[in-house]
Structure 1
Amino acid sequence: MSAPLQDRTAPQRGVDPAWALADYDLVCLSHLRWDFVYQRPQHLLSRCARARRVFFVEEPVRGDALPRLECSRRDCGVTVVVPHVPRDLDDDETEMILASLVDDLLGGQRIGNYVLWYYTPMALGFTRHLVPAATVYDCMDELSGFWGAPRALRERERDLLRSADLVFTGGRSLYEAKRALRPSAHLFPSSIDASHFRQARGLQPEPPDQAGLGRPRLGYFGVIDERLDLELLAAAADLRPDFTFVMIGPVAKIDRATLPRRPNIHYLGQKPYAELPAYIAGWDVALMPFARNDSTRFISPTKTPEYLASGRPVVSTSIRDVVEPYGREGLVAIADAPVEFVAAASRALGATRRAEWLQRVDAFLSRGSWDHTWAQMESLIGAAVRANRATGAPRIESCSTT
C-alpha cells in the first residue's frame, strides 16, 4: 500500500540558523532493499535514525501503474521509500521520472536541510540537480565487479569519488583501491553487534528446520550468489558425507538449478536477523566458502566478526580482507582447495584450548562496534555540513554526462 507523504514532526527549516548547522535529515540512495539482508546499511542508518529522520530510497520497482512513491516507516525509525515507475521506460526516461519523484519526496516530507548518502553511484543520474548540506559515498562493495553491473557505473563512481564531501570504504582492499581517485577516503571496516551474536554462545531454542539435521554441522549465512564457490561446497560435501552443510540466505542472481544438491547440503532459505544466533548456536563450524573472482576481489565480509562473536570456529577461503587481519591473528582458518578446506574444518572440530581462542577473539572484537563506527562517521558528517555552510561550496558537481 502506498503511504501518503506527510511531515513527521519535522522542524521548520530556515527558522534557526544554529539548528541548520547542527541538524539534518539523511536521504540514502541504495541499490539494496532494506528488507533483503541485514548488513552495513541497516546497522549504520538505524543508528542515524535515533537522532534524525532517515529516508532510505531503494531502486525503483517497474510495473504497469503510474509513477508513485511507496513509503513505510520501520520500527528502527528509518522510512523506506520505494519508487514505482512504468516498465516500458528507457534509462533516460526512468531517470527523469526518478528525479521528479525525489523532488516529491523532499517537498512532501518538508526535507530542507539534508545530507545525501549514496550506496550506488548510479543514483547520480537523477540526483545531480539536488543541493544537499553534504554528500557522503559509503562504498561497501566494488559494484562494477558484480554480475550485470551497468555500463555507466564506473564513470559515475569516478564522479562521485571526486565530488562527494566524504568517502567511506567498507574494507581495506576497497580503501586502497579508491585512494587513487580519493586520497582523503576514510576506512571504516564492517563492525559487529557483538551482544546480538554472543547469544549463540548460550543455550538457544533449536529452530525446527535445523533441529533434525545431523552433526557435525557446518553453517553459512548470507546471500547465495556468484560470490560463493559452489564447486568447493559440492566437493567438500562429497569428501565428507558425515558433515552436514547448512546454507542460510536468499539465492540471488544465479539459477537455483546450479546449486549443488547433496544429501548432506541443506538450503534453509532466508532468516530474520533476530533469529540468526539461534541457528548459529546449532553449528559446530562457521564457513565462508567464497570464490576468488572479480566480485570478491574487494569484499570485506561483515559475517567474519559476527561468526567470531558467536563463538564458532571459522573456515574461509583466502579473501584478502579475511586473511588480513583475521587469518594473520589466528582467529580464522584459511583454506582454498576442497581437501584443505575440509581438513581445516576437521581441525576446528577437534580443537582444544577453545577458551584461550575465545579470549583472543573477544579482545580483537572489543576494538570496535557499530555504535563507535557511527559516532565517528557522524562527527565527520557534521564537520562537512558546517564547512559547506560556511563556504557555500557546491555539493554535487556534474563531472560527466554519462
Structure 2
Amino acid sequence: HFEERARAGGSPRMVAIFSGTQLLESEGQRPTQLALALARRGIPVVFVYWRWWENEWRPQDRLEEGIVQIPIDVVVRRPEMLTAAFEGLERIALFELPYPGFFETLAAASSAGWITVYDVIDDWEEFHRVGQAVWWDEEFERHLIGACDAVFAINEPLAARVRALGGPGVELLGNGLKAGIAEVREPRPLARGEVTVGYFGYLAGAWFDWELIAEAAVRRPAWRFYLIGYGGSPEGTALPKNVELLGKQPQPDLAAFAANWDVAVIPFKPDRLAVGADPIKTYEYLAMGLPVVVTGVHPPAGAESLVDRAEGVEDFLRAIERAAARQGPAEAAARRAFAAGCTWDHRLESLLAALAAGRQRVAEKRALFEEQS
C-alpha cells in the first residue's frame, strides 16, 4: 500500500534511510531530520530503524507525511522485500551506520540499480572502543566505503578517516538544525551570574567533560553554569553550587532557557570521540545568536570565526570571557546568518544536488543501468 501511495504522489524518486536510531523528532538526530526534510519535499521515505527487541515496533505515525518505518532486522532478513520495490523510480539507499548486517542488503540494492550512499556521522571505531557500537567491524566499513556510489562525512576529521579507509572521493556535508529552533515561546527566567554559561544536550560521561565544568566553576564562583540534558551524571565529580542541573527539557523550550545565557558551551573531552562529532547544538546555539566556546570538537566548516575552541581549563575560561564580551547586535546577526544557511532543508538540497550532478561514482551507476535497460 505504501508503494502505491508513493507512486501516486508523483515523486520521481524515493529514499530508504538505514538509521541507528528511531524516528523521534524530539531527539533531533540527523537520520530523522533528513527523513522529515525529504517528506517536506514530497519524496517518499522508507525509514529502516534500529531496535533491540523483536517486539519493539514503531507506530506508523508518519504515513500521511510519506514515511513508512521498518525495523532493520526485518529488512536484512529479506532485503529483496525492499530492494525489488519502487521499480521505475530513482531509488536512493542512505546508510547512516556501517552495520555488517547490511552486507546482503547493500549488494541487493546495488545490483537492482539503487544509488547507494554512506553518510559518515560518527567515528564508529572509537564508539566501538568505548563499548558502544559493539557490532562495528573495520573490514565491513572499508567494504561499505568502497561499494557505495557516494560517501559523505560530517566533518574533516571523519573525511580524513574515510580517505584512510579507501574513500578518496568523500565530500563534506555537515550537520544542520531544525528551522524555528531559536524561537522563544514563553520566557524561562534563570538567576544570572557575573557571566552566565549554558549547555544543552547529551551528558554522557564518554565525552562530556564534567571535570572541566567543575573546575571552571570553582575558579569562577561568581559565574553561573546551567546544564540541560540527560544520559549522564557527574559520576563522582563534585559540582560546586554555581553549577545547576536542569534535567531534560522539551526541545521547543531550549531557546527560552538559552536566552538567559551570555555564552553557550560544548565542553567535550579532547579525544577521538569528540573530534569525530559535529554537534547539532553548535548550529542551534548560533541560531539563537549566542557566542559559542567548545572543547574537544571543532567549529563547523565556515564558522571558525564564530566559534572559539579552547584546550584546558584556563584557556576555556579565557575563551568564555572573550566570548561574553562579544554581545553586539552585529555579532549576533552574523551567528544567526550562518545558522540560517545550515537548516536540514539546506543540507538535503546539497546532498540531492551532489547526487543529481552524478558526483563520485553516481554517474557511472546511472550509465550502467541505463545501458542495461
- Mark yes or no: TM-score above 0.5: yes
Distance in 1 between the 2:118 and 2:322 partners? 41
Match of 2:28 among 7, 27, 38: 38
Gap runs ≥5 in structure 2 = none
Q: How many residue pairs align between the two structures? A: 354
**1:28 CA drift (Å):** 0.9
* Equivalent position of 1:361 in the other structure: 335
* Corresponding residue SS for 2:5: coil
Q: For the aligned residues, what is the CA RMSD?
A: 3.4
Q: What does residue 186 of structure 1 align with?
A: 171
The equivalent residue for 1:397 is none
- For residues 79 and 222 of structure 2, the distance between their equivalents in structure 1, rounded to whole angstroms, comes to 54
Q: Is the Cα–Cα contact under 8 Å of residues 284 and 339 in structure 2 kept in the other structure?
A: no
Q: State how far apart, in whole Å, the 1-side matches of 2:149 and 2:313 are.
A: 45
Deviation at 1:145, TM superposition (A): 0.9
SS for the counterpart of 1:322 is: coil
Tell me which residue corresponds to 2:49.
Answer: 58
Encode CA deviations 1:192-226: one digit per residue, 9 max, x unaligned.
Answer: 45x524435xxx5223xxx3544343111122221
Give distance in 2, aligned partners of 1:241 and 1:76. 52
Where 2:141 maps in the other structure, the secondary structure is helix
Q: How does 1:58-207 map to 2 (within 5 A)?
A: 58-62=49-53, 65=55, 70-74=58-62, 77=65, 79=67, 81=69, 83=71, 99-100=76-77, 111-112=86-87, 113=89, 114-122=91-99, 123-125=101-103, 127-131=105-109, 133-146=114-127, 147=130, 148-150=132-134, 152-180=136-164, 181-193=166-178, 196-199=180-183, 205-207=186-188
Q: Work out the percentage of aligned pairs sharing the same amino acid.
A: 26
Note the 1:1-400 alignment, pairs <5 A. Answer: 9-11=5-7, 23-35=12-24, 37-50=27-40, 51-62=42-53, 65=55, 70-74=58-62, 77=65, 79=67, 81=69, 83=71, 99-100=76-77, 111-112=86-87, 113=89, 114-122=91-99, 123-125=101-103, 127-131=105-109, 133-146=114-127, 147=130, 148-150=132-134, 152-180=136-164, 181-193=166-178, 196-199=180-183, 205-207=186-188, 211-215=189-193, 216-225=195-204, 226-251=206-231, 257-258=235-236, 260-317=238-295, 319=297, 321-322=298-299, 326-327=303-304, 329=305, 331-349=306-324, 351=325, 354-362=328-336, 364-365=338-339, 368-382=342-356, 388-392=365-369
Cα distance in structure 2, aligned partners of 1:135 and 1:276? 36
**What is the distance in 2 between the residues matched to 1:177 and 1:352?**
35
**Contact kept in structure 2, 1:239 and 1:339, CA below 8 Å:** no
Q: Distance in 2 between matches of 1:317 and 1:261?
A: 19
Alpha-carbon contact 1:26-1:55 (below 8 Å) kept: yes
Relative contact order (alpha carbons < 8 A, sep ≥ 6): 1 or 2 greater?
Answer: 1
TM-score relative to the length of structure 2: 0.80
The 3-state SS of whatever aligns with 1:127 is: helix
Distance 1:76 1:234, change over 3 A: farther
TM superposition shift of 1:322: 1.7
Task: Give the secondary structure class of the aligned counterpart of 2:278.
Answer: coil
Uncovered stretches (5+) of structure 1, i.e. residues with no partner: 14-18, 85-94, 394-402
**Which of 182-191 and 155-164 deviates more?**
182-191
Instruction: State the distance in 1 between where 2:276 and 2:186 align.
Output: 36
* 1:27 CA drift (Å): 1.2
1:213-269 deviation line (CA, Å, top 9, x unaligned): 443431111222212111101111222233222222221xx5664565443323333
Displacement, 1:7? 5.1
8 Å Cα contact 1:218-1:284 kept in structure 2:
yes
Query: Secondary structure of 1:282's partner?
Result: coil
Q: 1:81 to 1:206 in 2, by over 3 A?
A: same
User: What secondary structure is seen at the aligned counterpart in 2 of 1:182?
Assistant: coil
Q: Distance in 1 between matches of 2:63 and 2:238?
A: 37
Whether the aligned pair in 1 keeps the contact of 2:75 and 2:82 (CA below 8 Å) is no
- C-alpha distance 149-192 of structure 1, shift in aligned 2 (>3 A): closer
Residue matched to 1:400: none
Q: Distance in 1 between matches of 2:286 and 2:21?
A: 25
SS at match of 2:260: coil
After TM superposition, the runs of 4+ consecutive aligned structure 1 residues lying more than 6 A away are: none
Q: Quick one: distance in 2 between partners of 1:47 and 1:154?
A: 31
Q: Measure the CA separation in 1 of the matches of 2:316 and 2:66.
A: 41
- Residue type at the aligned position of 1:178: V
Q: Is the 8 A contact 1:56 1:78 kept in 2?
A: no
Cα distance 1:276–1:355, how it changes in 2: closer, same or farther (>3 A)?
same
1:75 and 1:392 mapped to 2: Cα distance?
Answer: 30
Structure 1 residue 141, shift from structure 2 partner? 1.4
Is the 2:192–2:224 Cα contact (8 Å) retained in structure 1?
Answer: yes
Residue identity matched to 1:53: P
